[in-house]
Amino acid sequence: MVIDRKQLARTKVADLQSGRSAYAETREMTALIKKELQSLNIDVHEDVTSFGSWFIPKTQDQP
């Protein structure tokens, strides 16, 4: 089974737009998500751990 990494990143960004958190296990996926977020001008909180990165959507009342 072939996994399209760019499509997976777009799916995770769609989750963020819907108010759900997204997890990226690899640096490559983290970079793809960040690139997509930047192109859509979406602001999120990123929690970087030694295992990967969590992207958490910011709410209206968060700075």
In a domain, 45, yes or no: yes
Residue 12 lies in a domain: no
Output the pLDDT for position 60: 64
Q: Residues 38-55, buried b or exposed e (16+ Cβ, 10 A)?
A: eeeeeebeeeeeeeebeb
Residues 6 or more apart whose Cβ sits within 8 Å of residue 60? none
How many domains, in total, are found in the chain?
Answer: 1
Residue 59's SS3 state is coil
**Does some domain include residue 20?**
no
53, amino acid identity = S
Please indicate, yes or no, if residue 55 is contained in any of the structural domains: yes
What digits encode the pLDDT tens for the residues 1-41? 778 999 999 999 999 999 999 999 999 999 999 999 999 99
Q: Which domain holds residue 41?
A: 29-62
- Using DSSP, state whether 16 is helix, strand or coil: helix
For the beta carbon of residue 59, count every other beta carbon within 10 angstroms: 8
